[in-house]
Amino acid sequence: MSNNTRYITIDSNKKVAIFLKYIDENYKNVQIHFEDRYTQGKVLVWANQTVTPLPTYVGRYFSKDDFKGRVSVAVVEYGSSLNTEEVQNNKYLINGQTYYSVIGQLKRNKSVPSNMFFLSTGINQPTAQTALSNYRIVLDAAPKTIAKISKHYHAEVKTPVFVKRHHQHYLIYIIPEIIVALLMIIILASLAWIAAKLLVAQAKISGLKGRLLTNWIINRSLRLILVIGLIMIISLVFLNTHAFYSNRTVLSWIVGLEFCLQFVTFLVTCRKGYQQLLK
């Protein structure tokens, strides 16, 4: 969840479903975790936005559609000691007298205890029929939205420890990431420069002149640019599926920026080399 996350406590016997209906009708881009006060490790998850995913070893994490139906589903940690049962190759979590279909199993994560399990909830789901007072509510939304919700429900608001730590150590966290990103940009730009130099050298050896030389360079350049683009797309897909990023939009922007810099470096170097060949 993001650094906008806050804990709110609502001392009310109103059902979770009523709370979710109010949120869904009045606010957008909200994600909520309901941490059960009486069942250890039980967390209800709901969102009316694209859910910030946790990395899974098997299956998937929740999507928006999981909160719209009438059936609650579960996500557990892979290899956990929770009470589960497998029936006809389908895994089920047993909580009390209820069976929940397991749609995903999480990779081991220090921030997620092994006994923790996540259940979808929604306005029409059975998990939303309990009282709000049974839960500590973890609310991830815009600050103004959180302020309005807490005022409406006269709720107590607290800042989570992980948010406080992130604010205190923000530079410590971000500087290494910036350094790595800059190094990658320099390395990739250098590779594009080398590729352009080699292309110009090959063109010089070929002995081609005039339009033949121009067409030869254009064809080879397009091939290399397509290869660079394909590598970038594969890299983005690989990082999205094999690593955990809380903000995938930023990752996409970084990969896109690296491609643009490689593209510009390659074209500028090729153009200079081509102009020298024409002299």
Q: Locate the domains of the chain by residue range.
A: 6-168, 170-278
Confidence of residue 42 (pLDDT cuts 50, 70, 90): very high
Model's pTM, two decimal places? 0.62
Give residue-wise pLDDT tens across range 225-269.
Answer: 888 888 878 877 776 665 555 556 677 777 788 888 888 888 888
CB atoms within 10 A of CB 137: 21
Quote the tokens at residue 58.
């098997």
Contact 14, 126 (CB under 8 A): no
Q: What is the DSSP letter of 142?
A: -
Beta-carbon contacts of residue 279 (< 8 Å; ≥ 6 apart): none
Q: Which of 36, 60, 43, 38 is nearest to 111 (CA)?
A: 43
| CA atoms of 59 and 57, how far apart (whole Å) | 7
pLDDT of 245: 54
d(CA 116, CA 69): 23
Instruction: Locate 173 and state its tokens.
Output: 């966290």
pLDDT for the residue numbered 92? 92
| Residue 234 token pair | 């594969």
The predicted-structure confidence for 169-202, as pLDDT tens digits, reads as follows 555 656 776 787 788 888 888 888 898 888 888 8
Spatial neighbors of 25 by CB under 8 A, at least 6 apart, are: none
